[in-house]
């Protein structure tokens, strides 16, 4: 009996020993996602982003909601395709705002959740789903696009088409 107790105590002790270093303990030399905020995207350019994303979605027969925000995360323009899911209206806006505020694609948050990086859940205003991408011009963030209505991967494809319309 005492052997069983000793054996299970030893197993428990081994389980408590870290086998890997915590990836959050790594200290990078440079600040990640340190893209400076730039002037806000104009309405004309934001509409060009929307039109390209909607055209991609139409080509694939996807029904999307598409939002473009400025460098401060404020809504500039929005488009809801006929038949697009109503719940995705606010999700598209949320993805665009999160991409602008955090200066990174929302896919980064999705990846973190998939990897079990729990602190992500403590951050305000994130959305852990791909489909939000910053709009960077001349090294500065001018806004972001958010798409919702399909799967995360479909949303991301539509967003990338929007980004490509103005970022050469």
Average pLDDT for runs of 10 along the chain of length 168 = 51 53 78 89 98 98 98 98 97 98 95 88 90 96 98 98 90
| CB-based contacts of 53, cutoff 8 Å, min separation 6 | 64, 66, 145, 147, 158, 159, 161, 162, 165
| Neighbouring C-alpha atoms within 13 Å toward the C-beta of 47 | 3
pLDDT for res 98: 97
Strand partners, 37: 141
pLDDT for res 19: 58
DSSP letter assigned to residue 129: S
| CB-based contacts of 82, cutoff 8 Å, min separation 6 | 63
Of the candidates 110, 102, 49, the residue with the CA atom closest to the CA atom of residue 76 = 49
pLDDT for res 15: 52
CATH architecture of 36-166: 2-Layer Sandwich (3.30)
């Amino acid at each position: 009996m005492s052997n069983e107790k000793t054996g299970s105590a030893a197993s428990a002790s081994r389980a408590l020993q870290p086998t890997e270093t915590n990836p959050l303990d790594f200290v990078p030399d440079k600040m990640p996602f340190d893209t400076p905020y730039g002037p806000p995207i104009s309405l004309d350019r934001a509409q060009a982003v929307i039109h390209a994303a909607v055209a991609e979605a139409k080509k694939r027969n996807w029904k999307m909601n598409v939002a473009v925000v400025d460098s401060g995360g404020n809504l500039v323009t929005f488009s809801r395709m006929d038949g697009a899911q109503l719940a995705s209206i606010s999700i598209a806006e949320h993805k665009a705002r999160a991409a602008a505020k955090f200066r990174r694609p929302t896919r980064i948050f999705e990846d973190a959740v998939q990897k079990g990086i729990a602190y992500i859940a403590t951050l305000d205003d994130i959305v852990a789903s791909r489909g939000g991408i910053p709009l960077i011009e001349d090294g500065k963030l001018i806004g972001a696009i958010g798409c919702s209505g399909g799967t995360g991967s479909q949303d991301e494809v539509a967003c990338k088409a929007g980004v490509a319309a103005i970022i050469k």
